[in-house]
Amino acid sequence: MAKKTGKSAIPLLAAVAVAVIASIGLLFWLAGNRKNNADQPVIGGAFELVDQNGKPFTEKNLKGKYSLIYFGYTYCPDVCPTELQTMTQALEMLGPLAKKIRPVMISVDPERDKPEVLKEYLTNFYPGFVGLTGTPEQIRKAGQAYRVFYRKTDEKSASDYLMDHSSIVYLMDPEGRYLKHFAYGTSPEKMAEGIRKAIEKYEKTSS
């Protein structure tokens, strides 16, 4: 099961509110920013991280499959487990098509999310989930590549704190390029439908 922090409802509501506000800002950015003359937002790029087994993982490892990418952290009391469960249910609804998709969680909390922590946490979600972490600087660069907002907040001790962060799920193509995004609160049914349509469109236009 996802970790429980014992926090009161007030910080939980605040965390959800920040995720929603940050995500809305990112959605406006996605709508208004395009790469040169192509109909593609500037999302994704180079990064150097490690997976839940401690092995190096870069943007090159994303190639060959579609990727469903989410930035979050294992100590998140509400937003992250909800989104990861939504991703899990959406992939289950896709049936055989899900074999073409790699679900990925990139931690925004490298101080606590060591590879072994991610490995245990992700057993609660879809099989084959890839968990990525790294140094604070490596996470910062990955977050910048994906236009992700995050910051430490509510710090009571070195190990007891929450992270404010945007909550967006990205669908990337087999070359690691942006295809589609899903805002916080998207239902599993809507996500599955959106993934299926985006893949069908991509494969039709790239064939």
d(CA 61, CA 113): 20
Long-range Cβ contact pairs of 201-206 (< 8 A, separation 24 or more):
202/173
Residue that the structure tokens 């991280």 belong to: 49
pLDDT by residue (tens digit) across 108-135?
A: 999 999 999 999 999 999 999 999 999 9
- pLDDT-wise least confident of 6-15, 124-133, 184-193: 6-15
- Which domains are seen in the chain, by residue range? 9-36+47-206 (3.40.30.10)
Q: What is the pLDDT of residues 43-59, one digit of tens each?
A: 999 999 999 999 999 99
Dist. CA 49–CA 82, nearest whole Å: 24
pLDDT at 29 over 80: no
User: Does 1 score more than 90 pLDDT?
Assistant: no
Q: CB within 8 A of 72, min separation 6: which ones?
A: 79, 80, 83, 84, 105, 106, 107, 108, 165, 167
